[in-house]
Homo-oligomer: A and B are copies of this chain.
């Protein structure tokens, strides 16, 4: 009936996404305590800082202090985000981060221009130079990312052929730099995906490049985030980005003057997987505790559902 995996891997982006967009201020100590709590949930990879311009993203002006304050576990990869060489230099110096090279591209040029102030040609040059920098710093290449892979607020529908040509550009850059990437991450940056378009796009990518692992980075802007994860699972996708408590969002992607909902919520995905027998390695009860901690830290309700509805295992334990 489907290609459902036995286990998946989740890359937690709550700290990076959340502390970037929350008005705060949130203390460095709270950020560290939150990440330390996440480290005890069974997650294998957590993105814990963003090395961006502190004038543009004041929530991450303490990136170095957060990274150095976190208690690093050997069995977890702690990662960071950077958008240019300056950010990369900061990440290289940061204490105990796992650095991964990536090539970032966008299926919508209109969104790329708004988001990065680069057109397609300019972005390809920037990405070329980035890969050279990764080689210089000995950072292994990891993944190519396709933003706006399922639709764009400024261009509308994105044809599947465009997603494929955007990936081709990524693979060409890798090739020309004599390196390889193993993962293609498809991002529903503005919440346009449906379960059907997930199946169509993932299917087309897997058919063209069966050797590449497909990852999904899904937003829950219009309530389809979890359904889209399910469609990804049915297509055999085994790698998902998500945010505990649904932390984060994109200030460019919203409507009604409000920012858009953030990434699909980690504990909701973990819950669905656990109930369907798909292993994530994550302890749901602990993760729900951390989601509630996130609400205390940011001082308001956050989107996730399972922390409100409660896990089923708690009910099962009360019955038996």
Contact = CB atoms under 8 A, between A and B. Distances in A.
A258 B308 contact: yes
Contacts of A199: 1
A151 interface: yes
The residue among A155, A222, A229, A230 with the most chain B CB atoms within 10 A of its own CB is A222
Contacts of A91: none
A18 to B, nearest CB: 18
B276 A195 contact: yes
A138 to B, nearest CB: 41
The residue among A230, A231, A260, A277 with the most chain B CB atoms within 10 A of its own CB is A230
Interface residues of A, number: 50
A309 B275 contact: no
The residue among A155, A156, A268 with the most chain B CB atoms within 10 A of its own CB is A156
Nearest to A292: B256
A153 to B, nearest CB: 5
A208 interface: no
Nearest to A316: B156
Closest 3 CB pairs of A and B: A223-B305, A255-B310, A227-B227
Interface of A: 1, 4, 151, 153-156, 191-192, 194-197, 199, 220-224, 226-227, 229-231, 254-256, 258, 260-261, 265, 268, 271-272, 275-277, 304-306, 308-312, 314-316, 319-320
